[in-house]
Amino acid sequence: MELDAAMDIQQIKQRFGIIGHSPLLTTALETAVKVAPTDMNVLILGESGVGKESFSKIIHQLSGRKHAPFIAVNCGAIPEGTIDSELFGHEKGAFTGATDKRKGYFETVNGGTIFLDEVGELPLSTQARLLRILENGEFIKVGSSVVQKTDVRVVAATNRDLLERARNGKFREDLYYRLATVPIRVPQLAERKNDIYLLFTKFAMEFAETRHSQLIELTPSAQEMLAQYAWPGNVRQLKNITDQICVLEKGPLVDVDILQKYIPKTEPNLPMLLGKIDGTDGMSERDIFYKVLIDLRKDVNDLKKVVFGLLEGNISSNSAMQSSASTVNSLVPVNLQNSNYHDNTIAINNLSAANNPAANNPNTNAGNASEPIILQATEDDIEFEETTAIATDISESFLSLEAQEIEMIKKALQKNNGKRKKAAAQLGISERTLYRKIKQYNLE
């Protein structure tokens, strides 16, 4: 039985042009084959470009609806104002421009299969209509009050985390569980490294056959380079690059020097915030950045007060060292507090103990302001002072960005005679963002 199942999967791969031997790909295909004869709703998960639509066609062709209509709808490409009309139809005069009565996809594909790609982009109102179809097969056209019935199998696909969107109020949780009766995850190309060269060869052969050109081949080192690339665009990106090479390169053999001209350079990993910062819910990245800089400036000022108080003898050295250590730790990222920064804090405490014997003698009045405390400057102290000054300059310079932003908005509005749409286009921001900034800075 296992051998027969393996042969069936291989036949399906040949029939639908599926290339690859990845276990993850085979598992996804096996699930699609098993669920196809049923009428269960299927949710296909996977990144953009992995071939989710191919799985929807496999499910339809292996089902009892294979002789009925099949239609693929990209939900993210239809404007929000017309998507209800596209899916469910409308009556004449239902809205401006509705000069005729129109059937929607769910009516025209009655008895067949509809593939809803990027289902996570559906508006909430449309999600409610779709849920009613999934529950009892009923829908109402836009501008009508008549309930109609339809018998359509829904296969949906998304590259989003729908449960996360449901937690954020952007997707109905009940609709998710209706759609995901059987979830199928299509692996990304980076998880199928052994299949990458097979796909490249397939695309190159197809191009050579259709264009009657010479077949392109890769050297072993170029094959290795192809396998090590991350392929964020997945199979679609691989096909595009293969076509580019076939068109632009003359020789039949492609080496690393040629291949690297077509593979985008990987961007270096930039530092990023890990987790959430308290009090930043609903704030934009720019606002969070301002908040971090303001907190940094506050901590630096607190540290300066501690140092001045120590030099003037207003506070004890132990209290000063504890306060300065806590302030330094607040300035240091969490992942660095256990490394060199922590060692510097220990060095400060050791310096305090060395220069102030009273810290180790419980019988000595360490807090007596009449006894001067002498601090001997070290290279670490000088370096810390320079770092503090730089941090203060950075925070002050970034805080002036707000004034620059206000000035730029004023100039853009003045140049465009107060027309916000043109001003927003000139500034490179959306009109909604510009409106929010105008209110924020009282620029009415």
For 164, what's the count of Cα atoms within 13 Å in the CB-facing half-sphere?
4
Structure-token pair, residue 361: 């003698």
**Same structural domain for residues 157 and 24?**
yes
Strand, helix or coil at 235? Answer: helix
**Same structural domain for residues 240 and 293?**
no
pLDDT of 327 reads 53
| Domain assignment present for 264 | no
| CATH value at residue 157 | 3.40.50.300
Number of domains in the chain: 4
**Same structural domain for residues 39 and 158?**
yes
| Amino acid at residue number 73 | V
pLDDT of 296 reads 79
Residues 287/433, Cβ–Cβ less than 8 Å: no
pLDDT of 320 reads 53
**Same structural domain for residues 170 and 208?**
no
| CATH value at residue 248 | 1.10.8.60
Q: Please say if the pLDDT value at position 13 is more than 60.
A: yes
**Same structural domain for residues 151 and 9?**
yes
What residues make up the domain containing 320?
A: 285-374
**Same structural domain for residues 176 and 303?**
no
Alpha-carbon span 184 to 29, nearest angstrom: 9
Strands (E), 224-338: 253-254
Strand, helix or coil at 47? Answer: coil
Per-residue exposure over 259-286, b if at least 16 CB sit within 10 Å of its own CB, e if not:
beeebeeeeeeeeeeeeeeeeeeeeeee
**Same structural domain for residues 176 and 206?**
no
pLDDT digits (tens, 9 = 90+) for 286-332: 666 667 777 777 777 777 666 666 555 555 555 555 555 555 555 44
119-123, 210-214, 303-307, 436-440: which is most confident: 119-123
What's the mean pLDDT in 422-427?
Answer: 83
**Same structural domain for residues 234 and 310?**
no
Structure-token pair, residue 92: 């004449």
pLDDT digits (tens, 9 = 90+) for 56-100: 999 999 999 999 999 999 999 999 889 999 999 999 988 888 889
Residues 90/47, Cβ–Cβ less than 8 Å: no
Alpha-carbon span 76 to 59, nearest angstrom: 22
Given 133, 165, 187, the domain boundary residue is 187
pTM over 0.75? The answer is no
Alpha-carbon span 248 to 184, nearest angstrom: 38
Percent residues over pLDDT 90 in the chain: 51
Element holding 147 (H helix, E strand)? strand 147-149
pLDDT of 412 reads 83
**Same structural domain for residues 24 and 94?**
yes
Element holding 301 (H helix, E strand)? helix 285-312
**Same structural domain for residues 7 and 139?**
yes
pLDDT of 338 reads 46
Element holding 123 (H helix, E strand)? none
- Sheet-wide strand order for 42-45: 70-74, 113-117, 153-158, 42-45, 182-185
pLDDT of 415 reads 86
**Same structural domain for residues 421 and 313?**
no
Alpha-carbon span 150 to 115, nearest angstrom: 15
| Domain assignment present for 219 | yes
Q: Please say if the pLDDT value at position 342 is more than 70.
A: no
pLDDT of 416 reads 84
Percent residues over pLDDT 70 in the chain: 70
